[in-house]
Structure 1
Amino acid sequence: MRIAHRISTVLSSLLVVTLVACAPSSKHASTGEYIDDTMITGKVKAALVADPDLKATEINVETYKGTVQLSGFVSAPEHIPKAVQLTRGIEGVKNVKNDIAVKR
């Protein structure tokens, strides 16, 4: 009985440690948040590619905890708000940081 109790205690401890290791912190996203961010990034890139005015290959998209950062270059000033508007229309986007510049 003592051996079964010790094994049970060890397995319970390992389970608790595993669950705590998967929990998100202020500096690290959980596995679920990472997957959500990856999906958001993919949807934003797809929306940018679908727009004929924007050159999606020149716009970088990064997502962290629902906040999307756009960076890179566009050919005309009116394309910047268009890219931001497309991004805000994606489900799951909480905030958009705009670092897009006009290419000269």
Structure 2
Amino acid sequence: MKISQLASLLVAAALVTPLVGHADDKPAGTAKAWVKDSVVTTKIKTQLATSKISSLAMVHVETDANGYVQLTGKVATQAEKDRAEAIAKAVDGVKSVDNQLTITGK
């Protein structure tokens, strides 16, 4: 009985050890910055999805910790490309937008 408990503890310790080793890999502010980035990205994606322009729901949004946003993907017209950029710029926390959207003409 004691051997099986000891074996279970050793297995558990072996599984947890890699997690403990990676706990200090990131600077203290990284988790907070990631949450901030994801909130801004989510706000932009929500606004794009609710804009009633179907192709804007397919725009890929990346945000860094400094509020810089990059839009990638495909849209049908220049007006949709401009609209996606305007939506992104209007979100709180966005400092600039790099609009890399491609116009498909469809």
Do both proteins adopt the same fold according to a TM-score greater than 0.5, normalized to the shorter chain? yes
Q: How does 1:85-100 map to 2 (within 5 A)?
A: 85-100=86-101
Tell me by how many angstroms 1:97 deviates. Answer: 0.8
- Taking only the aligned residue pairs, the percentage that are identical comes to 26
Larger strand fraction of residues: 1
Deviations 1:24-61 (CA, angstroms, capped at 9, x unpaired): 5xxxxx11111000000100000000111242342101
Work out the number of aligned pairs and report it.
81
Q: Normalised by the size of structure 2, how large is the TM-score?
A: 0.68
Instruction: Flag the 1:50–1:57 CA change in 2: closer, same or farther, 3 A.
Output: closer
Structure 2: runs of 5 or more not aligned: 1-23
Deviations 1:57-99 (CA, angstroms, capped at 9, x unpaired): 4210111111111000101111111100000000111111110
Runs of 4+ with deviation above 3 angstroms: none
User: What is the aligned-residue RMSD (CA, Å)?
Assistant: 1.8
Q: Normalised by the size of structure 1, how large is the TM-score?
A: 0.70
Tell me by how many angstroms 1:23 deviates. Answer: 3.6
**Counterparts of 2:83 and 2:53 in 1: how far apart (Å)?**
9
Task: Report what 2:42 is aligned to.
Answer: 42
Structure 1: runs of 5 or more not aligned: 1-17, 25-29
